[in-house]
Amino acid sequence: MANCITRHIPNTVTCCNLLSGCAASVMAFQSNYEAAILFIILGAVFDFFDGMLARLLGVSGPLGKELDSLADDITFGFAPSAIVFSLFKEVHYPEFLLPVADYFPYTAFIIAAFSALRLGKFNIDPRQSTSFIGLPTPANALFWGSLVVGGHSFLTSDAFNAAYLLALVLLMSYLLIAELPMFSLKFKSLAWSANKVSYIFLLVCIPLLAIFRISGFAAIILWYILLSLLTKKKA
């Protein structure tokens, strides 16, 4: 039987994920986008290990599952919303949007709402044990963080504006809950035949990171979505 210390280890790691998301949000509101994405990545590391530790220690339970979703909505829902909120205050506004420019940044929190919907749906959807239906919230958060850090100069130029940003917010929010099968990177073996899609995905990721650097993570998420569309199977 797990002792009193052991059974709290996974939930402690989950809380570290939540705290990372809180720190990422504070950094985002201060327009410190580099620090924000670092805390999001740190949260993703904690998110990866909490479930693994729960299984290894044999202490999985309903509390851990609920706590994990709450932490994920902070780190991968609210934090990217905070990043986009701050970006909305920097982007160019076309003349027809100037009357609502002060209120427009709040549309960024659509991301947090749809992330919560996605996480709730994930918890009750038995189809998502080996793959995903809709874009995973960590992928969405990484997309926004890397896009804003790597493409900040373009996003705040006259070539881009708030209307385009809102359209992107709506598109990515929709993908969170879309009935779109997306592959998982879980390897059951190293055989090419069993993991062909994953290997193709990873091979393309290398040049994307080399070419685009930090923005390469946003490009990787777009590549992930595209490859899922090209290889989708009926869920």
Classify domain 6-183 at the CATH superfamily level: CDP-alcohol phosphotransferase transmembrane (TM) domain (1.20.120.1760)
Q: What would the pLDDT profile of 49-72 be if each residue is shown by its tens digit? A: 877 777 777 667 777 778 888 999
pLDDT bucket at 197, cuts 50 / 70 / 90:
confident
What is the average pLDDT across 96-105? 95
pLDDT bucket at 132, cuts 50 / 70 / 90:
confident
Helix ranges (H only) for the chain are 9-29, 33-57, 62-73, 79-88, 110-124, 137-150, 152-155, 162-177, 196-212, 216-231
pLDDT bucket at 234, cuts 50 / 70 / 90:
very low
Q: Assign residue 93 a region (left: φ > 0; alpha: ψ between -120 and 50; beta: otherwise).
A: beta
Who's near 96: CB < 8 A, 6+ residues apart? none
Contacts by 208-214, CB closer than 8 A, 24 or more apart = 212/150, 213/150, 214/37, 214/146, 214/149, 214/150
